[in-house]
Structure 1
Amino acid sequence: MTAALTLDGVSKRYGEFRAVEDLSFEVQKGAICGFLGPNGAGKTSTIRMILGLQGVSAGRIEILGADDGRKVRDRIGFLPEERGLYKKMTPVDAIAFFGSLKGLPLAEGRRRAKDMLEAQGLGASRNKKMKELSKGMAQKVQLIASVVHRPEFVILDEPFSGLDPVNQQGLEAVIRDLAADGATVLFSTHVMQHAERLCDKVVLLARGQKAFEGTVTEARATSKRFLELEGAIDAAQAAALPGVSGVEVVSEIDGVRVLKAALGQGGKGQDTLKAAFLGGLDVRRFELREPSLHDAFINLTGDHPDVDQSVKVAEAAR
Protein backbone atom coordinates (compact mmCIF):
# COMPACT_ATOMS: atom_id res chain seq x y z
CA MET A 1 0.00 0.00 0.00
CA THR A 2 1.02 3.61 -0.59
CA ALA A 3 1.56 5.90 2.36
CA ALA A 4 -0.56 9.06 2.41
CA LEU A 5 1.53 10.43 5.30
CA THR A 6 5.11 9.76 6.38
CA LEU A 7 6.96 11.24 9.35
CA ASP A 8 10.65 10.40 9.53
CA GLY A 9 12.63 11.40 12.63
CA VAL A 10 10.53 14.52 13.26
CA SER A 11 11.35 16.73 16.24
CA LYS A 12 9.96 20.07 17.40
CA ARG A 13 11.79 22.30 19.85
CA TYR A 14 10.58 25.43 21.60
CA GLY A 15 13.78 26.91 22.97
CA GLU A 16 15.37 24.24 25.11
CA PHE A 17 12.17 22.21 25.40
CA ARG A 18 11.41 19.37 22.96
CA ALA A 19 7.67 19.02 22.44
CA VAL A 20 8.19 16.20 19.90
CA GLU A 21 11.29 14.06 19.63
CA ASP A 22 12.40 11.71 16.83
CA LEU A 23 8.86 10.79 15.79
CA SER A 24 8.44 8.39 12.85
CA PHE A 25 5.27 6.72 11.56
CA GLU A 26 3.23 6.18 8.39
CA VAL A 27 -0.48 6.29 7.54
CA GLN A 28 -1.58 4.30 4.50
CA LYS A 29 -4.06 5.70 1.98
CA GLY A 30 -7.68 5.03 2.96
CA ALA A 31 -6.83 4.10 6.57
CA ILE A 32 -8.25 5.46 9.81
CA CYS A 33 -5.35 6.17 12.16
CA GLY A 34 -5.72 7.17 15.78
CA PHE A 35 -3.04 9.51 17.12
CA LEU A 36 -3.34 8.85 20.83
CA GLY A 37 -1.95 10.27 24.03
CA PRO A 38 -2.63 12.60 26.94
CA ASN A 39 -3.19 16.31 26.54
CA GLY A 40 0.24 17.93 26.36
CA ALA A 41 1.92 14.85 24.85
CA GLY A 42 2.76 16.60 21.55
CA LYS A 43 -0.19 15.61 19.36
CA THR A 44 -1.26 19.13 18.36
CA SER A 45 2.34 20.24 17.72
CA THR A 46 2.72 17.26 15.39
CA ILE A 47 -0.51 18.03 13.55
CA ARG A 48 0.56 21.65 13.05
CA MET A 49 3.82 20.43 11.50
CA ILE A 50 1.95 18.00 9.22
CA LEU A 51 -0.23 20.88 7.99
CA GLY A 52 2.77 23.14 7.47
CA LEU A 53 1.51 25.64 10.04
CA GLN A 54 4.85 25.42 11.82
CA GLY A 55 8.19 24.09 10.71
CA VAL A 56 9.98 21.00 11.95
CA SER A 57 13.15 21.40 14.01
CA ALA A 58 14.50 18.15 12.57
CA GLY A 59 13.30 15.31 10.37
CA ARG A 60 11.08 15.01 7.33
CA ILE A 61 7.31 15.03 6.65
CA GLU A 62 5.60 13.96 3.43
CA ILE A 63 1.84 14.25 2.95
CA LEU A 64 0.04 13.30 -0.29
CA GLY A 65 3.39 13.30 -2.03
CA ALA A 66 4.33 16.84 -0.93
CA ASP A 67 7.08 17.92 1.47
CA ASP A 68 4.90 20.69 2.93
CA GLY A 69 1.22 20.45 3.85
CA ARG A 70 0.64 23.96 2.50
CA LYS A 71 1.40 22.73 -1.03
CA VAL A 72 -1.57 20.32 -0.91
CA ARG A 73 -3.85 22.23 1.48
CA ASP A 74 -6.82 22.10 -0.91
CA ARG A 75 -6.65 18.29 -0.71
CA ILE A 76 -6.65 18.30 3.11
CA GLY A 77 -9.54 18.79 5.53
CA PHE A 78 -8.74 19.96 9.04
CA LEU A 79 -10.89 20.22 12.16
CA PRO A 80 -8.88 22.08 14.82
CA GLU A 81 -9.24 21.44 18.54
CA GLU A 82 -10.16 25.10 19.05
CA ARG A 83 -13.47 25.45 17.22
CA GLY A 84 -14.45 28.68 15.53
CA LEU A 85 -17.34 29.66 13.25
CA TYR A 86 -18.78 33.09 12.58
CA LYS A 87 -21.71 33.34 15.01
CA LYS A 88 -23.96 35.43 12.76
CA MET A 89 -23.57 33.15 9.74
CA THR A 90 -26.03 30.38 8.95
CA PRO A 91 -24.69 26.81 8.71
CA VAL A 92 -25.15 26.82 4.94
CA ASP A 93 -23.24 30.07 4.52
CA ALA A 94 -20.48 29.00 6.92
CA ILE A 95 -19.93 25.68 5.17
CA ALA A 96 -19.96 27.26 1.69
CA PHE A 97 -17.51 29.95 2.84
CA PHE A 98 -14.99 27.46 4.24
CA GLY A 99 -15.36 25.35 1.11
CA SER A 100 -14.56 28.39 -1.04
CA LEU A 101 -11.27 28.80 0.83
CA LYS A 102 -10.33 25.35 -0.55
CA GLY A 103 -11.35 26.22 -4.12
CA LEU A 104 -14.98 25.03 -4.07
CA PRO A 105 -17.36 27.41 -5.92
CA LEU A 106 -19.85 29.05 -3.53
CA ALA A 107 -22.92 27.76 -5.37
CA GLU A 108 -21.64 24.18 -5.26
CA GLY A 109 -20.66 24.65 -1.64
CA ARG A 110 -24.16 25.75 -0.71
CA ARG A 111 -25.67 22.77 -2.56
CA ARG A 112 -23.38 20.31 -0.81
CA ALA A 113 -23.94 22.05 2.53
CA LYS A 114 -27.71 21.54 2.32
CA ASP A 115 -27.30 17.86 1.43
CA MET A 116 -24.74 17.20 4.18
CA LEU A 117 -26.71 19.07 6.85
CA GLU A 118 -29.78 17.03 5.94
CA ALA A 119 -27.78 13.80 6.20
CA GLN A 120 -26.64 14.82 9.70
CA GLY A 121 -30.16 15.65 10.88
CA LEU A 122 -29.55 19.40 10.74
CA GLY A 123 -31.73 20.23 7.76
CA ALA A 124 -34.23 22.17 9.87
CA SER A 125 -31.44 24.30 11.34
CA ARG A 126 -29.66 25.19 8.11
CA ASN A 127 -30.92 28.79 8.08
CA LYS A 128 -30.52 29.54 11.78
CA LYS A 129 -27.64 31.65 13.07
CA MET A 130 -24.66 29.66 14.33
CA LYS A 131 -25.04 31.27 17.77
CA GLU A 132 -28.50 29.66 18.06
CA LEU A 133 -27.19 26.09 17.69
CA SER A 134 -26.19 23.76 20.51
CA LYS A 135 -22.52 22.89 20.98
CA GLY A 136 -23.01 19.46 19.43
CA MET A 137 -24.83 20.89 16.42
CA ALA A 138 -22.19 23.59 15.92
CA GLN A 139 -19.45 20.96 16.05
CA LYS A 140 -21.21 18.93 13.36
CA VAL A 141 -21.41 22.06 11.20
CA GLN A 142 -17.69 22.70 11.62
CA LEU A 143 -16.88 19.10 10.73
CA ILE A 144 -18.98 19.40 7.57
CA ALA A 145 -17.19 22.67 6.77
CA SER A 146 -13.83 20.91 7.03
CA VAL A 147 -14.77 18.15 4.55
CA VAL A 148 -17.27 19.83 2.18
CA HIS A 149 -14.54 20.11 -0.50
CA ARG A 150 -14.15 16.29 -0.37
CA PRO A 151 -10.52 16.13 0.78
CA GLU A 152 -8.26 13.14 0.27
CA PHE A 153 -6.77 13.48 3.76
CA VAL A 154 -8.77 14.49 6.85
CA ILE A 155 -7.12 15.54 10.12
CA LEU A 156 -9.30 15.85 13.22
CA ASP A 157 -7.74 17.26 16.40
CA GLU A 158 -9.62 16.00 19.50
CA PRO A 159 -12.92 15.81 17.53
CA PHE A 160 -14.85 14.15 20.38
CA SER A 161 -14.01 16.80 22.98
CA GLY A 162 -17.09 18.20 24.69
CA LEU A 163 -19.62 16.03 22.83
CA ASP A 164 -22.29 13.99 24.59
CA PRO A 165 -22.40 10.21 23.93
CA VAL A 166 -25.08 10.50 21.23
CA ASN A 167 -23.10 13.07 19.26
CA GLN A 168 -19.89 11.09 19.80
CA GLN A 169 -21.57 8.08 18.22
CA GLY A 170 -22.72 10.23 15.30
CA LEU A 171 -19.19 11.54 14.78
CA GLU A 172 -17.81 8.00 14.74
CA ALA A 173 -20.26 7.21 11.92
CA VAL A 174 -19.06 10.27 9.99
CA ILE A 175 -15.42 9.15 10.32
CA ARG A 176 -16.30 5.67 9.04
CA ASP A 177 -18.16 7.23 6.09
CA LEU A 178 -15.16 9.40 5.20
CA ALA A 179 -12.90 6.34 5.04
CA ALA A 180 -15.53 4.38 3.10
CA ASP A 181 -15.51 7.16 0.50
CA GLY A 182 -11.75 6.78 0.11
CA ALA A 183 -10.38 9.49 2.41
CA THR A 184 -7.47 8.89 4.76
CA VAL A 185 -8.31 9.95 8.33
CA LEU A 186 -5.94 10.88 11.14
CA PHE A 187 -7.58 11.87 14.39
CA SER A 188 -6.03 12.73 17.72
CA THR A 189 -7.67 11.84 21.01
CA HIS A 190 -6.89 10.95 24.61
CA VAL A 191 -10.01 8.75 24.82
CA MET A 192 -8.92 5.22 23.95
CA GLN A 193 -12.43 3.79 23.44
CA HIS A 194 -12.98 5.77 20.25
CA ALA A 195 -9.78 4.43 18.75
CA GLU A 196 -10.68 0.84 19.71
CA ARG A 197 -13.92 1.08 17.73
CA LEU A 198 -12.65 3.01 14.72
CA CYS A 199 -9.00 2.53 13.91
CA ASP A 200 -7.13 0.40 11.41
CA LYS A 201 -3.98 1.61 13.12
CA VAL A 202 -2.93 3.55 16.21
CA VAL A 203 0.13 5.59 17.13
CA LEU A 204 0.60 6.05 20.89
CA LEU A 205 2.45 9.19 21.98
CA ALA A 206 3.78 9.93 25.46
CA ARG A 207 5.97 12.85 26.52
CA GLY A 208 6.57 13.77 22.88
CA GLN A 209 7.85 10.33 21.84
CA LYS A 210 6.28 7.38 20.06
CA ALA A 211 5.46 4.54 22.42
CA PHE A 212 3.78 2.24 19.89
CA GLU A 213 2.68 1.98 16.25
CA GLY A 214 0.45 -0.81 14.97
CA THR A 215 -3.08 -2.20 15.03
CA VAL A 216 -5.37 -2.10 18.05
CA THR A 217 -5.04 -5.88 18.35
CA GLU A 218 -1.24 -5.64 18.33
CA ALA A 219 -1.35 -2.91 20.98
CA ARG A 220 -3.62 -4.96 23.25
CA ALA A 221 -1.28 -7.94 22.86
CA THR A 222 1.44 -5.98 24.67
CA SER A 223 -0.63 -6.08 27.87
CA LYS A 224 -1.77 -9.04 29.96
CA ARG A 225 -5.20 -10.55 30.47
CA PHE A 226 -6.45 -10.12 33.99
CA LEU A 227 -9.01 -11.28 36.52
CA GLU A 228 -11.10 -8.67 38.24
CA LEU A 229 -11.92 -9.98 41.71
CA GLU A 230 -14.20 -8.45 44.33
CA GLY A 231 -14.46 -9.52 47.95
CA ALA A 232 -12.75 -9.41 51.33
CA ILE A 233 -9.42 -10.38 49.74
CA ASP A 234 -6.09 -8.70 50.30
CA ALA A 235 -3.52 -8.17 47.57
CA ALA A 236 -1.08 -10.70 49.04
CA GLN A 237 -3.69 -13.48 48.93
CA ALA A 238 -4.49 -12.72 45.28
CA ALA A 239 -0.80 -12.48 44.34
CA ALA A 240 -0.21 -16.00 45.73
CA LEU A 241 -2.79 -17.57 43.39
CA PRO A 242 -1.42 -19.70 40.51
CA GLY A 243 -0.93 -17.87 37.21
CA VAL A 244 -1.03 -14.38 38.78
CA SER A 245 1.93 -12.13 37.90
CA GLY A 246 0.84 -8.93 39.65
CA VAL A 247 -2.03 -7.39 41.60
CA GLU A 248 -3.46 -3.87 41.64
CA VAL A 249 -6.01 -2.65 44.19
CA VAL A 250 -8.65 -0.79 42.19
CA SER A 251 -10.87 0.25 45.10
CA GLU A 252 -11.68 -0.57 48.73
CA ILE A 253 -14.83 0.13 50.74
CA ASP A 254 -15.33 -1.26 54.27
CA GLY A 255 -12.82 -4.04 53.73
CA VAL A 256 -14.31 -5.14 50.41
CA ARG A 257 -11.74 -4.71 47.65
CA VAL A 258 -11.81 -4.77 43.89
CA LEU A 259 -8.53 -6.27 42.68
CA LYS A 260 -7.04 -6.47 39.22
CA ALA A 261 -4.95 -9.66 39.05
CA ALA A 262 -2.75 -9.80 35.93
CA LEU A 263 -2.28 -13.26 34.44
CA GLY A 264 1.26 -14.21 33.46
CA GLN A 265 2.33 -16.00 30.30
CA GLY A 266 0.29 -19.21 30.06
CA GLY A 267 -1.80 -18.30 33.10
CA LYS A 268 -5.36 -19.65 32.96
CA GLY A 269 -8.13 -17.73 34.66
CA GLN A 270 -10.11 -20.89 35.39
CA ASP A 271 -7.19 -22.40 37.33
CA THR A 272 -6.73 -19.18 39.28
CA LEU A 273 -10.40 -19.01 40.23
CA LYS A 274 -10.47 -22.70 41.17
CA ALA A 275 -7.55 -22.17 43.53
CA ALA A 276 -9.25 -19.11 45.03
CA PHE A 277 -12.44 -21.00 45.82
CA LEU A 278 -10.64 -24.13 47.06
CA GLY A 279 -8.50 -21.92 49.27
CA GLY A 280 -11.61 -20.44 50.86
CA LEU A 281 -11.03 -16.88 49.65
CA ASP A 282 -14.01 -14.53 49.89
CA VAL A 283 -14.65 -14.00 46.16
CA ARG A 284 -18.04 -12.34 45.67
CA ARG A 285 -17.62 -11.34 42.04
CA PHE A 286 -15.12 -12.22 39.33
CA GLU A 287 -14.60 -11.44 35.67
CA LEU A 288 -11.95 -12.59 33.22
CA ARG A 289 -11.10 -9.59 31.05
CA GLU A 290 -9.02 -9.01 27.96
CA PRO A 291 -6.74 -5.96 28.07
CA SER A 292 -8.14 -2.75 26.61
CA LEU A 293 -6.23 -0.16 24.62
CA HIS A 294 -6.19 1.92 27.81
CA ASP A 295 -4.46 -0.98 29.61
CA ALA A 296 -1.97 -1.29 26.75
CA PHE A 297 -1.15 2.42 26.89
CA ILE A 298 -0.38 2.22 30.61
CA ASN A 299 1.72 -0.90 30.06
CA LEU A 300 3.68 0.67 27.20
CA THR A 301 4.27 4.10 28.69
CA GLY A 302 3.69 3.90 32.44
CA ASP A 303 1.28 6.82 32.02
CA HIS A 304 -2.47 7.13 32.09
CA PRO A 305 -3.75 8.62 28.79
CA ASP A 306 -6.32 10.68 30.70
CA VAL A 307 -3.65 12.42 32.81
CA ASP A 308 -2.68 15.79 31.35
CA GLN A 309 1.06 15.99 30.55
CA SER A 310 1.03 19.73 29.83
CA VAL A 311 1.96 20.40 33.47
CA LYS A 312 5.15 18.47 32.85
CA VAL A 313 5.68 20.54 29.71
CA ALA A 314 5.35 23.78 31.67
CA GLU A 315 7.79 22.58 34.32
CA ALA A 316 10.31 21.34 31.77
CA ALA A 317 10.18 24.66 29.89
CA ARG A 318 11.29 26.70 32.95
Structure 2
Amino acid sequence: MSVRRRVGGRDVLLDCSARFVAGSLTAVVARNGAGKSVLARVLAGVDRPDAGDVRRPARSAFFLPERPPAPPGLDASRLARALAPRLAPPAARTGAASRVAPALDALSLGGPPDAPLDQLSKGSLQKAHLAVAAALRPVLVVLDEPFSGIDADALGAALDLVRGLAAGSSVVVLTAHRPVPGVDCLALTDGRLAALEPAPPAYLLDVFPSARAGAVLAAPLAAAGATVQAAAEGLLRARVPEPALPAVLRAALDAGLEVRRLVEDVDAW
Protein backbone atom coordinates (compact mmCIF):
# COMPACT_ATOMS: atom_id res chain seq x y z
CA MET A 1 0.00 0.00 0.00
CA SER A 2 1.26 3.47 -0.94
CA VAL A 3 -1.44 6.13 -1.10
CA ARG A 4 -2.39 9.78 -0.83
CA ARG A 5 -5.84 10.94 0.21
CA ARG A 6 -7.33 14.43 0.44
CA VAL A 7 -10.53 15.04 2.43
CA GLY A 8 -12.40 18.32 2.75
CA GLY A 9 -9.63 20.26 1.05
CA ARG A 10 -7.01 18.87 3.44
CA ASP A 11 -4.24 16.38 2.76
CA VAL A 12 -4.91 13.57 5.26
CA LEU A 13 -2.69 10.80 3.91
CA LEU A 14 0.67 11.75 2.36
CA ASP A 15 2.72 9.01 0.74
CA CYS A 16 1.24 6.64 3.30
CA SER A 17 3.05 3.35 2.77
CA ALA A 18 2.95 -0.03 4.51
CA ARG A 19 3.04 -3.75 3.79
CA PHE A 20 0.83 -6.20 5.66
CA VAL A 21 1.37 -9.93 5.30
CA ALA A 22 -0.89 -12.91 5.89
CA GLY A 23 -1.08 -13.88 9.54
CA SER A 24 -0.20 -10.40 10.79
CA LEU A 25 -1.99 -8.19 13.31
CA THR A 26 -1.16 -4.49 13.17
CA ALA A 27 -2.53 -1.53 15.11
CA VAL A 28 -2.45 1.92 13.50
CA VAL A 29 -2.18 4.38 16.38
CA ALA A 30 -3.02 8.08 16.15
CA ARG A 31 -4.85 10.91 17.85
CA ASN A 32 -8.36 11.97 16.87
CA GLY A 33 -8.44 13.73 13.52
CA ALA A 34 -5.13 12.29 12.32
CA GLY A 35 -6.78 10.19 9.61
CA LYS A 36 -7.16 6.73 11.15
CA SER A 37 -10.66 6.24 9.76
CA VAL A 38 -9.65 7.62 6.37
CA LEU A 39 -6.80 5.13 6.20
CA ALA A 40 -9.06 2.28 7.31
CA ARG A 41 -11.63 3.04 4.61
CA VAL A 42 -8.95 3.25 1.91
CA LEU A 43 -7.29 0.06 3.07
CA ALA A 44 -10.63 -1.80 3.08
CA GLY A 45 -11.53 -0.50 -0.38
CA VAL A 46 -14.52 1.53 0.80
CA ASP A 47 -12.88 4.74 -0.49
CA ARG A 48 -10.43 5.18 -3.34
CA PRO A 49 -7.13 7.01 -2.79
CA ASP A 50 -6.45 10.17 -4.75
CA ALA A 51 -3.07 8.76 -5.74
CA GLY A 52 -1.30 5.45 -5.35
CA ASP A 53 -2.92 2.07 -4.85
CA VAL A 54 -3.70 -0.65 -2.35
CA ARG A 55 -2.83 -4.17 -3.43
CA ARG A 56 -5.23 -6.43 -1.61
CA PRO A 57 -6.57 -9.95 -2.16
CA ALA A 58 -9.27 -10.27 -4.80
CA ARG A 59 -11.80 -11.27 -2.16
CA SER A 60 -13.47 -8.34 -0.42
CA ALA A 61 -12.29 -7.08 2.95
CA PHE A 62 -14.30 -7.38 6.14
CA PHE A 63 -14.61 -3.77 7.31
CA LEU A 64 -15.90 -2.73 10.72
CA PRO A 65 -16.31 1.06 10.95
CA GLU A 66 -16.11 2.88 14.28
CA ARG A 67 -19.91 3.16 14.19
CA PRO A 68 -20.96 -0.37 13.21
CA PRO A 69 -23.90 -0.87 10.83
CA ALA A 70 -27.06 -2.47 12.20
CA PRO A 71 -29.00 -3.92 9.26
CA PRO A 72 -32.67 -4.28 10.31
CA GLY A 73 -34.07 -7.78 10.40
CA LEU A 74 -30.68 -9.45 10.83
CA ASP A 75 -28.97 -11.04 13.78
CA ALA A 76 -25.26 -11.92 13.83
CA SER A 77 -25.74 -15.45 12.47
CA ARG A 78 -27.91 -14.27 9.59
CA LEU A 79 -25.37 -11.56 8.79
CA ALA A 80 -22.61 -14.17 8.67
CA ARG A 81 -24.69 -16.33 6.36
CA ALA A 82 -25.34 -13.37 4.06
CA LEU A 83 -21.69 -12.32 3.91
CA ALA A 84 -20.12 -15.78 3.64
CA PRO A 85 -20.31 -16.10 -0.20
CA ARG A 86 -18.46 -12.80 -0.64
CA LEU A 87 -16.06 -12.67 2.31
CA ALA A 88 -15.33 -16.18 3.56
CA PRO A 89 -12.68 -18.34 1.89
CA PRO A 90 -14.23 -21.48 0.37
CA ALA A 91 -13.09 -23.68 3.24
CA ALA A 92 -14.75 -21.38 5.80
CA ARG A 93 -18.14 -20.92 4.11
CA THR A 94 -19.70 -24.14 5.33
CA GLY A 95 -20.93 -23.68 8.88
CA ALA A 96 -19.95 -20.03 9.13
CA ALA A 97 -23.27 -19.07 10.73
CA SER A 98 -22.95 -21.83 13.32
CA ARG A 99 -19.59 -20.44 14.48
CA VAL A 100 -21.09 -17.09 15.47
CA ALA A 101 -22.78 -18.20 18.71
CA PRO A 102 -19.59 -19.60 20.35
CA ALA A 103 -17.76 -16.38 19.50
CA LEU A 104 -20.57 -14.30 20.99
CA ASP A 105 -20.50 -16.44 24.11
CA ALA A 106 -16.76 -15.80 24.50
CA LEU A 107 -17.40 -12.07 24.18
CA SER A 108 -20.32 -12.08 26.69
CA LEU A 109 -22.83 -10.38 24.42
CA GLY A 110 -25.18 -9.73 27.32
CA GLY A 111 -28.25 -10.96 25.46
CA PRO A 112 -29.47 -13.83 23.30
CA PRO A 113 -27.23 -14.66 20.32
CA ASP A 114 -30.17 -14.12 17.96
CA ALA A 115 -30.81 -10.57 19.17
CA PRO A 116 -31.57 -8.25 16.22
CA LEU A 117 -28.58 -6.08 15.38
CA ASP A 118 -30.65 -2.90 15.28
CA GLN A 119 -31.59 -3.41 18.94
CA LEU A 120 -28.04 -3.70 20.27
CA SER A 121 -25.94 -1.05 22.00
CA LYS A 122 -22.77 0.14 20.31
CA GLY A 123 -20.56 -2.16 22.37
CA SER A 124 -22.78 -5.19 21.80
CA LEU A 125 -22.93 -4.36 18.10
CA GLN A 126 -19.13 -4.29 17.95
CA LYS A 127 -19.07 -7.70 19.65
CA ALA A 128 -21.59 -9.05 17.14
CA HIS A 129 -19.53 -7.88 14.16
CA LEU A 130 -16.31 -9.26 15.68
CA ALA A 131 -18.08 -12.60 16.13
CA VAL A 132 -19.12 -12.52 12.47
CA ALA A 133 -15.51 -11.81 11.44
CA ALA A 134 -14.33 -14.76 13.54
CA ALA A 135 -16.92 -16.99 11.87
CA LEU A 136 -16.07 -15.90 8.32
CA ARG A 137 -12.26 -15.91 8.66
CA PRO A 138 -11.79 -13.32 5.87
CA VAL A 139 -8.49 -12.84 4.08
CA LEU A 140 -8.39 -9.14 5.03
CA VAL A 141 -9.98 -7.69 8.18
CA VAL A 142 -9.97 -3.90 8.80
CA LEU A 143 -11.31 -2.74 12.17
CA ASP A 144 -11.72 0.97 12.93
CA GLU A 145 -11.49 1.45 16.72
CA PRO A 146 -13.21 -1.90 17.27
CA PHE A 147 -13.07 -1.83 21.08
CA SER A 148 -14.24 1.74 21.74
CA GLY A 149 -17.64 0.71 23.13
CA ILE A 150 -16.83 -2.70 24.60
CA ASP A 151 -16.96 -3.12 28.37
CA ALA A 152 -13.65 -3.61 30.17
CA ASP A 153 -14.38 -7.20 31.21
CA ALA A 154 -14.80 -8.26 27.55
CA LEU A 155 -11.79 -6.44 26.09
CA GLY A 156 -9.38 -9.29 26.72
CA ALA A 157 -11.69 -11.76 24.96
CA ALA A 158 -12.13 -9.34 22.06
CA LEU A 159 -8.37 -9.03 21.62
CA ASP A 160 -8.00 -12.82 21.81
CA LEU A 161 -10.59 -13.14 19.04
CA VAL A 162 -8.73 -10.65 16.85
CA ARG A 163 -5.43 -12.40 17.53
CA GLY A 164 -7.09 -15.67 16.54
CA LEU A 165 -8.03 -14.20 13.16
CA ALA A 166 -4.40 -13.32 12.49
CA ALA A 167 -3.26 -16.74 13.70
CA GLY A 168 -5.63 -18.23 11.15
CA SER A 169 -3.71 -16.41 8.36
CA SER A 170 -5.96 -13.35 7.98
CA VAL A 171 -4.37 -9.92 7.55
CA VAL A 172 -5.80 -7.90 10.43
CA VAL A 173 -5.38 -4.13 10.71
CA LEU A 174 -7.07 -2.14 13.47
CA THR A 175 -6.97 1.49 14.53
CA ALA A 176 -6.58 2.73 18.10
CA HIS A 177 -5.82 5.85 20.10
CA ARG A 178 -2.97 4.20 22.02
CA PRO A 179 -0.53 1.35 21.46
CA VAL A 180 -2.13 -2.05 21.96
CA PRO A 181 -0.19 -4.30 24.35
CA GLY A 182 1.68 -7.07 22.57
CA VAL A 183 0.61 -5.93 19.08
CA ASP A 184 2.85 -4.54 16.32
CA CYS A 185 2.00 -0.85 16.03
CA LEU A 186 2.36 1.84 13.38
CA ALA A 187 2.03 5.52 14.23
CA LEU A 188 0.06 7.71 11.81
CA THR A 189 1.54 11.19 12.09
CA ASP A 190 1.25 14.05 9.60
CA GLY A 191 -0.23 11.70 7.03
CA ARG A 192 2.58 9.16 7.14
CA LEU A 193 3.08 5.79 8.81
CA ALA A 194 6.12 4.92 10.90
CA ALA A 195 7.02 2.03 13.20
CA LEU A 196 6.00 2.42 16.83
CA GLU A 197 7.24 0.28 19.68
CA PRO A 198 4.36 -1.81 21.07
CA ALA A 199 3.27 -0.99 24.59
CA PRO A 200 4.75 -3.32 27.22
CA PRO A 201 2.14 -5.60 28.75
CA ALA A 202 0.48 -4.45 31.95
CA TYR A 203 -2.25 -5.87 34.14
CA LEU A 204 -5.17 -4.65 36.20
CA LEU A 205 -5.22 -6.13 39.69
CA ASP A 206 -8.21 -5.87 42.04
CA VAL A 207 -7.61 -6.66 45.71
CA PHE A 208 -9.81 -6.54 48.81
CA PRO A 209 -10.07 -4.80 51.21
CA SER A 210 -8.84 -1.45 49.97
CA ALA A 211 -8.15 -0.05 53.45
CA ARG A 212 -5.27 -2.49 53.95
CA ALA A 213 -4.25 -2.74 50.32
CA GLY A 214 -3.01 0.82 49.97
CA ALA A 215 -0.16 0.48 52.47
CA VAL A 216 0.87 -2.95 51.25
CA LEU A 217 0.96 -2.18 47.55
CA ALA A 218 2.11 1.43 47.50
CA ALA A 219 5.86 0.79 47.70
CA PRO A 220 6.29 -1.92 45.03
CA LEU A 221 3.86 -0.18 42.71
CA ALA A 222 5.58 3.16 43.03
CA ALA A 223 8.95 1.54 42.41
CA ALA A 224 7.59 -0.07 39.25
CA GLY A 225 5.92 3.09 37.99
CA ALA A 226 2.43 1.67 38.40
CA THR A 227 -0.71 3.56 39.31
CA VAL A 228 -3.21 2.78 42.06
CA GLN A 229 -6.75 4.07 42.45
CA ALA A 230 -9.77 3.26 44.56
CA ALA A 231 -12.35 1.08 42.85
CA ALA A 232 -15.98 0.32 43.51
CA GLU A 233 -17.31 -1.82 46.35
CA GLY A 234 -14.29 -1.43 48.60
CA LEU A 235 -11.82 -2.90 46.13
CA LEU A 236 -8.53 -1.34 45.21
CA ARG A 237 -7.47 -1.47 41.58
CA ALA A 238 -3.84 -1.27 40.55
CA ARG A 239 -2.30 -1.10 37.09
CA VAL A 240 0.85 -3.19 37.26
CA PRO A 241 3.60 -3.39 34.61
CA GLU A 242 4.39 -7.00 33.80
CA PRO A 243 7.91 -7.02 35.37
CA ALA A 244 6.47 -5.90 38.72
CA LEU A 245 3.59 -8.37 38.76
CA PRO A 246 5.24 -11.21 40.77
CA ALA A 247 6.41 -8.85 43.52
CA VAL A 248 3.05 -7.12 43.78
CA LEU A 249 1.11 -10.39 43.93
CA ARG A 250 3.48 -11.74 46.56
CA ALA A 251 3.07 -8.60 48.70
CA ALA A 252 -0.70 -8.77 48.45
CA LEU A 253 -0.93 -12.47 49.29
CA ASP A 254 1.60 -12.22 52.15
CA ALA A 255 -0.59 -9.53 53.67
CA GLY A 256 -3.64 -11.78 53.52
CA LEU A 257 -5.38 -9.71 50.86
CA GLU A 258 -7.84 -11.39 48.55
CA VAL A 259 -7.05 -11.11 44.85
CA ARG A 260 -10.42 -10.64 43.17
CA ARG A 261 -9.35 -10.15 39.57
CA LEU A 262 -6.23 -10.11 37.41
CA VAL A 263 -6.63 -9.25 33.72
CA GLU A 264 -4.50 -7.81 30.95
CA ASP A 265 -4.90 -4.05 30.79
CA VAL A 266 -6.58 -3.28 27.48
CA ASP A 267 -8.89 -0.58 28.81
CA ALA A 268 -6.59 2.24 27.65
CA TRP A 269 -7.30 1.68 23.98
TM bin, normalised by shorter chain, reads 0.5 to 0.7
Counterpart secondary structure, 1:28? coil
| Among candidates 35, 44, 47, match of residue 51 of structure 1 | 44
| Among candidates 172, 175, 198, match of residue 185 of structure 1 | 172
**Residue 20 (structure 1) shift:** 0.8
Question: How many aligned residue pairs are there?
Answer: 205
> Do the aligned residues in 1 keep the contact of 2:100 with 2:135 (CA within 8 Å)?
yes
Counterpart secondary structure, 2:143? strand
Q: Which runs of 5+ in 2 are unaligned?
A: 201-220, 227-267
> Do the aligned residues in 2 keep the contact of 1:147 with 1:154 (CA within 8 Å)?
no
Could you tell me how far apart the structure 1 residues matched to 2:191 and 2:120 are? 36
**Residue 289 (structure 1) shift:** 4.5
> Do the aligned residues in 2 keep the contact of 1:152 with 1:184 (CA within 8 Å)?
yes
Which residues of 2 match residues 18-167 of structure 1 at below 5 A?
18-64=11-57, 71-73=58-60, 76-102=61-87, 108-121=95-108, 125-167=112-154
Counterpart secondary structure, 2:83? helix
**Residue 99 (structure 1) shift:** 2.8
Over the aligned positions, Cα root-mean-square deviation in angstroms equals: 3.2
Asked if 1:174 is matched to 2:161, the reply is yes
The verdict on how the C-alpha distance between 1:24 and 1:191 changes in structure 2, with shifts beyond 3 A counting, is: same
Which residues of 2 match residues 155-234 of structure 1 at below 5 A?
155-192=142-179, 195=180, 197-199=181-183, 201-210=184-193, 212-216=194-198
**Residue 83 (structure 1) shift:** 0.7
Give CA deviations for 1:239-277 in whole Å, capped at 9, x if unaligned: xxxxxxxxxxxxxxxxxxxxxxxxxxxxxxxxxxxxxxx
**Residue 12 (structure 1) shift:** 0.8
Find the structure with the greater CA-based Rg.
Answer: 1
Could you tell me how far apart the structure 1 residues matched to 2:33 and 2:185 are? 18
Counterpart secondary structure, 1:72? coil
Asked if 1:17 is matched to 2:17, the reply is no
The verdict on how the C-alpha distance between 1:21 and 1:141 changes in structure 2, with shifts beyond 3 A counting, is: same
Could you tell me how far apart the structure 2 residues matched to 1:178 and 1:142 are? 13
Could you tell me how far apart the structure 2 residues matched to 1:58 and 1:133 are? 38
Could you tell me how far apart the structure 2 residues matched to 1:13 and 1:133 are? 34
* Letter of the structure 2 residue corresponding to residue 213 of structure 1: A
TM-score normalised per structure 1: 0.55
TM-score normalised per structure 2: 0.64
Q: Which runs of 5+ in 1 are unaligned?
A: 1-6, 65-70, 221-284, 291-305, 307-318
**Residue 81 (structure 1) shift:** 1.3
